[in-house]
Chains A and B, each alone.
Chain A
Amino acid sequence: MWLFDRDLWSEVFNTLGKNIFRTVLTMLGVVIAMIILILLLGSSNGMSNMFQNVFAGTASNSLFVWSQNTSEPYKGFERGRRIQFHLADADIIKEQIPEIEVLAPRIELGSHRGITTVYRNGRTSGSSVYGDYPVIDEVTKKKLVEGRFLNNTDIEASKKVCVIGEETYELLFEKGEDAIGSDVRINGVFFTVVGIYKPNDNIDIDGQNAVFIPFTTFQKAFGSGDRLGWMAIAVREDVKVPVVEQKIKKLLKTKYDIHPDDDRAIGSFDMSEIFNNVTTFTTVLKGVSFFIGFFTLMAGVIAISNILLITVKERTKEIGVRRALGATPKIVRRQIILESIVITVFAGLIGFTIAIGFLAIINGMLGDEVQDGVPLLNPMVSIPQFVISFGLMVGLSVLIGMIPANRAVRVRPIEALREE
C-alpha cells in the first residue's frame, strides 16, 4: 500500500523541505483562506444562535389577532365602525379551526396599548394592564425572575393576583425590595404580586412595563363582561400560519358583518413571517460565508498548484532522470499530487487551529448570554461543517494538484536529459 510507503513520504517531504521558505509562503494562502472560511462560518453560526436565543421565548408559529375599525361599508353598516370581539369568538374559532394548538384570549385595560396608572405606596407607574389566561405562556414565554406566572386556580377563583414586569417593579418598588406578596392598586382595586418577569431580550409583544392579571379577575374588577381584546394563537407545527390567519379572519368577518375585502377591520400579526425572514437571512448568510470561504480556499490551493508547477519546471531534469531510471508516470504523478495534498492539509490544519482558537477566545469573552451590541452567540463551527470544509480542501488539492502532476508526467526523459 503506497500510503504506508516510507520512501514515498520521505521523497515528498524532501522536496517540500528543499525550499522551506517558499513552501511556507505558499501555505500562507491556504492558512489565511482556512481562517477566513472558519471565521465566516463561525460568525454566521453565532448570528444564527443569537437569533435563536432572541426568539427562544416566542413560539415561532404564532399569530396575534385583534379588532380595529372597519374601512368599508357593509350590510347597512357605515365604515369606521369599531369591531369588538367577544370571549365566545375564541371558543368558536378553536372549535372550527382544528389547526390551532393554543388560543389565549386577552383583554387590555384602556385603549389598545393604553397606559393605566398603577399605584403602590405613593409610587406610580404607567403600565399596560392585561387580563390573561395562563396558556398565553405557551405562545409568549415569560422569563420569571421571581415567583410564578398566573395559573388555572387564579382563573377559576378569580384571584386578585398579578405578575409584573421588571420595569414596573423598578418603578413601584425600592431597589432590592421584596415585591412578592405586596399589593399594587389598579383603578382602585388591589392586586397581590405573585411574580416578576424579565423581558426575553426578544421581540417585545407585551412591553417590559406591564401587569398581568387573571382574565376572570379582570372581567369582575373592571366590568369588561365577555369582551375580548386580542387573541394570541399558536398554530400546529405542520401548518402554515398565513393559512390559519385567513381562516380566522374569514370566520370573524362573517360573524361581525365585515366586508370580505375589508383588510383594516381585523388586525393581525404573523410571527412566523419574521421567523422565516430571519431563518432565510441566516441560511443565506451561511451560504454566502461558505461561498466566499470556498473561493478563498480555491485561490489558496491554486497558489499551491502554481508553486508546484514552478517546482516541476525546476525539477524537469530530476524527473527525467527518474523516468530514465524506471519511474512510471503513475509514480511521478502520485508524488506531485501527494505534495499538493500534504501542503494543503498541513496549511489547512494550521489555519483551522488558529481560527478555532480565535473563535474560542471570542466565545469565552461573550459567555452564554446575548450581549448588548454584539450580534453573536457561541460562534463556532460544527463538526459536519469542519468535515465538509476539510474534505473540500483535500478534494480541491487533489484536483488542482493534477495540473502540475500532469505537467510532470509530460516531461519526456529525453528532453530532460538533453545537455545544455
Chain B
Amino acid sequence: MIEIKDLHKSYKMGNNSLHVLKGINFKVNEGELVAIMGSSGSGKSTLLNILGMLDGADSGEYTLDGVPIKNLSETKAAEYRNKFLGFIFQSFNLINYKSALENVALPLYYQKVPRKERQEKAMQYLERVGLKPWADHLPSELSGGQKQRVAIARAMAAEPKVLLADEPTGALDSTTSYEVMDLIQKINDEGNTILVVTHEEDIAHMCKRIVHLKDGIIVEDKKIEQVRAEQYV
C-alpha cells in the first residue's frame, strides 16, 4: 500500500540545515496497523507529514497504492489527500462551529457528494463510532474521547486507503485512550490500513508492528503480538 525508498528531508534553520530524515525505507501492506515510535526530534512527525502529503520530501520515492507521489500541485495534493488519506490529529481539529455530523460530512463535501447522500453517509460513520445521538452537537459539547471519535468518523467518511493518526491519544486520559485504540483496532480488523504515530509504549503495543525512528533513520522494525485494547475498557 505504502512504499518509501531512501527518503530524505532537511529543514533550513537560518544558516544551518537540519537533516531530519536521513534515508527512510519502508513498506506498509494493506490491512496493517503500524505504530511509528520515536522521541521528539526523531523525525516521526516529519515522516507522517510527508506520508500525508502535507509536506514534500527532498529526495526519495513515495508510492501510495501504486500512485507515485511527487511534485504535486496544491490542487492535486488536496485531491489525493481527500481520496487516499484520512487524518486523525492529536488535538482533534474539529471545526468548532459545525456540528458533529457536519464535521464528518466535510471530506465528502470536498468530494462533491450530494448533500443528502453526504448526510446519510456521515450519519452511518457516526453510528459506527457510537455517536449517532450526538450528531447535532457542537464539538464544544463533546468530551475529549467523543471528539476524537468524531474525528475518526470524519477520517473514515471519505473511505480513504490509509488512515494517518498523529498522536491520536496524546490529549486523552488512559481510559479514553484505550477506548479510542479499541475503535482503531476494530477499524483495522475490517481491513483498513492504519499508521499511528505515538511515543507511548502501551499504545504502540496495541498495533501489529512497531517502527522505531531515531535521529532520522529507522533503527528497529518489528512485528509484535497485538495487545487488544478491549480488555482495558
Contacts and interface: CB of A to CB of B under 8 A. Distances in A.
B232 interface: no
B78 A326 contact: yes
B54 A325 contact: no
Interface of A: 6-7, 14-15, 18, 317-318, 320-331, 409, 412-414, 417, 419
Q: Ordered nearest first, which 8 A-B pairs have the shortest CB separation?
A: A326-B82, A326-B110, A414-B54, A328-B78, A321-B93, A325-B107, A328-B75, A413-B54
B87 A324 contact: yes
B55 A325 contact: no
B79 interface: yes
Contact of B81 (A7, A324, A329, A419): A324
Interface in B49-75: 49, 52, 54-55, 74-75
A331 B110 contact: yes
Contact of A412 (B54, B90, B106): B54
Contacts of B83: 326
B89 to A, nearest CB: 6
A325 B115 contact: no
Contacts of A330: 75
Given A6-B115, A18-B97, A328 B79 contact: yes
B74 A324 contact: no
Contacts of A325: 81-82, 87, 106-107, 110, 154, 158
A329 B95 CA distance: 18
B9 to A, nearest CB: 12
A15 B96 CA distance: 11
Interface in B156-170: 158
Given A324-B87, A328-B74, A414 B49 contact: yes
26 contacts: A7-B115, A14-B98, A15-B97, A18-B97, A320-B93, A321-B95, A322-B110, A323-B78, A325-B81, A325-B87, A325-B106, A325-B110, A325-B154, A325-B158, A326-B83, A326-B110, A327-B110, A328-B74, A328-B78, A329-B75, A330-B75, A331-B110, A409-B74, A412-B54, A414-B54, A417-B93
A326 B106 CA distance: 9
Contacts of B109: 7
A331 B55 CA distance: 20
Given A320-B93, A324-B93, 11 more contacts: A14-B98, A325-B154, A325-B158, A326-B79, A326-B107, A326-B111, A327-B78, A328-B75, A329-B74, A417-B89, A419-B91
A417 to B, nearest CB: 6
A270 B109 CA distance: 72
B209 to A, nearest CB: 25
Contact of A326 (B54, B93, B97, B158): B158
A324 to B, nearest CB: 5
B38 to A, nearest CB: 16
A322 B107 CA distance: 8
Contacts of B98: 14
Contacts of B75: 328-330
Interface in B103-121: 106-107, 109-111, 115
Contacts of B55: 414
Nearest to A415: B54
A343 B14 CA distance: 41
A115 B154 CA distance: 98
B117 to A, nearest CB: 13
Given A329-B74, A414-B49, A324 B54 contact: yes
B84 to A, nearest CB: 10
Nearest to B109: A7
A110 to B, nearest CB: 88
A293 B107 CA distance: 44
B101 to A, nearest CB: 13
Contacts of B97: 14-15, 18
A339 to B, nearest CB: 14
Contacts of B89: 321, 417
A320 B94 CA distance: 11
Contacts of B87: 324-325
Contacts of B91: 419
A231 B98 CA distance: 83
A327 B98 CA distance: 16
A15 B97 CA distance: 9
B29 to A, nearest CB: 24
A103 B75 CA distance: 77
A323 to B, nearest CB: 6
Contacts of A414: 49, 54-55
A166 to B, nearest CB: 72
Nearest to A325: B107
